Amino acid sequence: MTISNKTWPMLTGILAMFIATDAHAQIHHHHHNNRYNPGYHIDHHDHVVRDSHGHVIGRYHHDVVHQNSTYIVPHSGSAHQHGTYHVHNGSYYYTPRTASISSTSVAPSPVQVQFGSFSHVDDLASRLETLTNEFCLDLYYNYSHNPGFQETYTESYQLLQVAQFIHGAEHAHDRNAIRSKLGGMDSLFHHVQDDVRGWTRHHHRQVGQLGILSKMDMIESTLHHLMNDVGVQATGGNEVAPPPGGGLNVAPPPSTLP
């Protein structure tokens, strides 16, 4: 069979498109089957911490986070959420009063948080509740057109409910209830994380300051610190039952979805 000179460019273009599509499928398949861990860039010259997506999540007058640290939870602007959390060489640390550091003051030293110490549960549960609520709202307003949205939103809302329950149980000093509800939450989160990665966004409303990928990084980091503080190891469970209780929430429950 003779192929004309006009046909060769068309065939070459089709072949190139097929190779690119196949490569994209392999990358997506590889990404889906390997658990994602958030990465951070710590610029000690400018005292800036960026997440793996390039967004600035912390600015400090002093170096309060070690280089090569992971699971960074920066100081929050909330009046009740102070300090910075990070993991370094497998140990969990909390640095207090990071918002009030001036350029001339002495930087506070990180304090190691022992496994199961229950020393920061209220703060971490409050942060997790805020983050999961913003995550649910972002899904609700901007991602509802994606396949499998209703099931994924339901699981995401379970994460919010667990965070709310833990925050309430901490005020009631019910440590057993906290441990029982937190177990398996990391597996549920990673399941949601796999579902939404690669979803497209139809922008209708901006929720919070960061995008959905950065929100997931922050949730994952906060969850790791909370689990360490409560004394719960990562489990192989894929699901966690929604806790009792209710009340109105900022993020709408799955039963209200169209």
Per-residue pLDDT at 28 exceeds 80: no
Enumerate the domain spans of the chain: 40-112, 121-256
- pLDDT digit string, tens, across residues 200-243: 999 999 998 788 888 999 999 999 999 999 999 865 433 333 34
Band (77; pLDDT cuts 50, 70, 90): low
- Provide the pLDDT confidence category of residue 192 given band limits of 50, 70 and 90: very high
CA dist., res. 64 & res. 107, Å (int):
7
At 102-124, the pLDDT tens digits run 555 666 788 999 999 999 999 99
Parallel, antiparallel, or unpaired: how do β-strands 111-112 and 91-95 relate? antiparallel
| Helical residues (DSSP H) of the chain, grouped into ranges | 7-32, 121-142, 149-171, 175-182, 185-196, 212-230
For residue range 147-174, list pLDDT tens digits in order: 999 999 999 999 999 989 988 888 888 9
Predicted pLDDT at 32: 38
Comparison of pLDDT for 245 and 185, the residue scoring more: 185
Segment 21-47 mean pLDDT: 47
Residue 8 has pLDDT above 70, yes or no: no
